[in-house]
Amino acid sequence: MNIASSPGFDTITPTFIKCATKRVPRHNGRGQENVNVMAPHIAALFNMLMTQARVPKSWKEANLLLIIRRGQ
């Protein structure tokens, strides 16, 4: 994920998604690790959309800009 990219229509920045972590004990009991707290919720959203076989209308909209490269 590119943290320098701008937020989408939901105003959630990539930095927030990447850094939304909490420290938890490792499974082997040695030390701690960072676990992303957003990942389970995002996964649940995508699983729900897949089981319902639908895509939100707002996800089907896009702003396109034509870029013409000259001199190649």
By the 8 A CB rule, do 21 and 34 touch?
yes
Q: Is 45 helix (H, G, I), strand (E, B) or coil?
A: helix
Residue 52 has a pLDDT of: 93
Question: Which of 42, 31, 33 lies closest to 1, judged by CA?
Answer: 42
pTM: 0.52
Give per-residue pLDDT as tens, 17-70: 778 889 989 988 889 988 888 888 889 998 999 999 988 888 888 777 888 878
Listed by start position, the domains of the chain span: 1-72
Give per-residue pLDDT as tens, 2-16: 778 888 777 888 888
Query: Which positions ≥6 away from 53 have C-beta within 8 Å?
Result: none
Residue 1 has a pLDDT of: 65
Give the helix/strand (H/E) hosting 14.
Answer: helix 14-19
